[in-house]
Structure 1
């Protein structure tokens, strides 16, 4: 089944259809009674289609799309450019800050990368920025949206692994902020060592610093208030993830009205994009559920446990091997596919490993493992040949920039993410401190 799955993916078949089709074929090939396939229908309906938690996905997607179309990030970037004018690396720092805000407010990689590439890349290249630094900054900060909560990926993880989504949101906050801080340090280092790679933007002398700061505060307060209301309500248990997502969706709609961006055409476009994204995720969930049931019935879990057993009994060696496997899968698959395929198989194995005295309870182990996988999967958007963020940026770059240029630009940022992953693996408290405190 695994071999046919990888073969089908490389041949270009839609993964959701491939998963469902293989489950049906191997029901017949494996001489499994067709009545067993009835379990798939029950599991799909009970575990996916009637799942209250998964209703948060379309709400979070809608919130992100509405904030994107409300031009919140566009206004914030414009004010930050003015504030950092005259400072080497100021434009790149502006991009990272807006990327972090976009990550927390939209969580949509495509929207973040395309928006930042459209707004910032021409200005950075025109200012004389090194093209690798300019593109790498946009791609690195743009992919933070999949990690920093409220994140669609963490909602999916919580449902698959049966752990608290509020705890996952709390656990991902510090790692996401840490990666953003590392990006800032890298840009500052490059600007200090090679100022010609990140020259300063010319300041408009007619622009008063006081008015810039006041406009910047306004553009920061609005999205920050919305994000805080969503996160606090979920993390502190005041609202369920679905209710928190509804708060976010309603708030994003109000911001669009306040910014006078809401039109029937824009609203209809946001609903279409939300429906397409939600349909894709649920379609994959249905296919993966069918695949998982038949794979398990054929003894797939025993196979996985045997392969993991070859790594020895040392928990950290097993964890390192799993992280390497997920990193390699990220070269070829999207995070949604990896989540529905790998997590149901690997999470129970990791949950039963003994990481004492650093991590004691199984719940903490699963939360820590989910954050490690999330940071790992963030790199899947940047690693060739199928890193989707690379394709998003290539679609909007000037003709003089090649695909090879884009591939080279992400190398330092992939290295930073892997360094962050290693730190979280060595020091689990980076992910577990905040959930424990709360």
Structure 2
């Protein structure tokens, strides 16, 4: 009995790990484990009755007094509107016109679209599926190798996870205690490095073997004036919208919620400009936004319940002691946590990982000291946040359970097999690991822009 009492937090984690494979919604599992162990603790006189009444107060303090969560519905609305209004399709065609002389031009165009649609990349399934519907049939019709085409789409669909103003960055900034503006700045260079690595691979592979990505043949011709108007409407305006959302936060001109509202209003304006606005379309977008927002907030509430009970039983101290008991130094503990997060990404979404795992690892993260390596405790926190973001992105792409791969298979034509997708993702995962290694070895990739912005 004493062993059970002393290790209630450990049994909570074990119960959660087992029940996550039950097929029940993650939010219900979290609430069930939290309240269930609270009742067990009450029976063992380790969790007083008054502690149950503190749970609603903790939920309110987590959600009601947080400046990040109100931005979520508007960012989701913006991303869904950009995807469903046909703006993504126009972007693809426009980029094909501009990049028609570049080898593997369609793979490069898909990558650029993944960057532009970063606000919707919090919904990895939606991003990958949308890009697959938009680009994959055309790429296959023009002779692209199946594995090459699917690899580029899966990479582009998850690329926006680490590029501002992606939703995941808001959550990571909140959980890790860093300013959202600095979080945005710290991920720009690593994200662009990944983009450059992707594009370099696509172009190089197409040059070495033109059969995997045949060049474009016929595209509609336009006059200089027509082309200028088309580029402004299809490419410049969406890019300007993302820049306004990102720039207003970084410059301190708007709060995250205000900038997200600007993005949502801008998405409606773009729908009006490309004549895709209708009450029916708006109804679908608002309905999807409401469902996704409810899902995010339900998981946030459930994670708060779980983490409250877990910490009441001393779970944070237990995790810190377990990792320290392994005899690892700061580097060993950091790599161990990254490995755990990486494996969790095979099975659960980034929202659950950010809201479950990071609070558990919080005391360990605070105990790590990379100030001498990175430059200061604040910069070290940003550097670790970027590593976690890159790690979460990679886990979505890793066979055999990477979520993005299954979403891609569901949206791909029947002629594309899961084996084709696995083959195509191998070089992408290698590129991802190279990107993580570069940030580990060269922390300046994550800290250069925040330092530059802070320099008077």
* TM-score of the pair, normalised by structure 2: 0.91
Please point out which of 408, 412, 421 is paired with 2:427.
Answer: 412
**Structure 1: gaps spanning 5 or more residues:** none
Matched, 1:20 2:31: yes
Counterpart pick for 1:166 among 176, 181, 187: 181
Q: Does residue 6 in structure 1 map to residue 17 in structure 2?
A: yes
Q: How far has the Cα of 1:420 moved from its partner?
A: 0.6
In structure 1, what is the equivalent of residue 373 of structure 2?
358
Give the structure 2 partner of residue 399 of structure 1. 414
Q: Provide the residue aligned with 2:395 in structure 1.
A: 380
Whether the 8 Å contact between 1:128 and 1:197 is mirrored in structure 2 is yes
Deviations 1:91-130 (A, max 9, x none): 2112112222222576543333222211211121122211
Unaligned runs of 5+ residues in structure 2 are 1-11
Q: How does 1:202-351 map to 2 (within 5 A)?
A: 202-204=217-219, 206=221, 211-212=226-227, 215-351=230-366
Deviations 1:22-67 (A, max 9, x none): 1111112233112112222110012124433210000111111112
SS of 2:117 mapped into structure 1: helix
5 Å-filtered alignment, 1:101-180, equals 101-103=116-118, 108-180=123-195
Q: Is the 8 A contact 1:172 1:371 kept in 2?
A: yes
Deviations 1:106-164 (A, max 9, x none): 65433332222112111211222111110000010111121111111111122222321
Decide whether the 8 Å contact of 1:326 with 1:376 is kept in 2: yes
Q: SS at the partner of 1:51?
A: coil
| 1:290/1:105 CA distance change after superposition, 3 Å | closer
SS at match of 1:114: helix
* 2:61 alignment counterpart: 46
1:74 to 78, 82, 89: 89
* Separation of aligned partners in 1, 2:391 and 2:101: 36
Displacement after TM superposition at 1:368 (Å): 1.5
Partner of 2:74: 59
Q: CA deviation at 1:348?
A: 3.3
| 2:316–2:361 contact (8 Å) kept in structure 1 | no
Distance 1:391 1:209, change over 3 A: farther
Q: 1:185 to 1:20 in 2, by over 3 A?
A: same
Q: Do 2:75 and 2:120's aligned partners in 1 also have CA atoms closer than 8 Å?
A: no
Q: Distance in 2 between matches of 1:325 and 1:106?
A: 22
Q: How many corresponding residue pairs? A: 438
Does the Cα contact within 8 Å between 1:359 and 1:428 map onto a contact in 2?
yes
SS at match of 1:357: helix
Task: Supply the RMSD in Å over aligned alpha carbons.
Answer: 1.9
Secondary structure of the residue aligned to 1:132 is: helix
Tell me if the contact between 1:86 and 1:202 (Cα under 8 Å) persists in the aligned partners.
Answer: no
CA contact under 8 A between 2:120 and 2:127: conserved in structure 1? no
Counterpart Cα distance in 1 of 2:291 and 2:395: 22
- Answer yes or no: is the 8 Å Cα contact 2:114–2:156 preserved in 1: yes
Distance 1:67 1:41 in 2: 36
Is the partner of 2:62 in helix, strand or coil? helix
User: Which of 407-416 and 82-91 deviates more?
Assistant: 82-91
Could you list the per-position Cα deviations for residues 341-373 of structure 1 after superposition, in whole angstroms to 9, with x for gaps in the alignment? 111122332233221322243322222111111
2-structure distance, mates of 1:243, 1:165: 13
CA distance 1:160–1:218, shift in 2 (3 Å) = same
Note closer, same or farther for the CA distance 1:105–1:328 as it changes in structure 2 (3 Å cut).
closer
> Could you say what secondary structure the match of 2:371 adopts?
coil
Of 64-73 and 98-107, more deviation after overlay is shown by 98-107
**Counterpart among 192, 195, 206 of residue 210 in structure 2:** 195
Deviation at 1:210, TM superposition (A): 7.5
Q: 1:320 to 1:209 in 2, by over 3 A?
A: farther
CA deviation vs aligned residue, 1:346-404 (integer Å, no higher than 9, x gap) = 23322332213222433222221111111111123222444332222212222222222
Distance 2:278 2:401 in 1: 35
Moved more, 63-72 or 139-148: 63-72
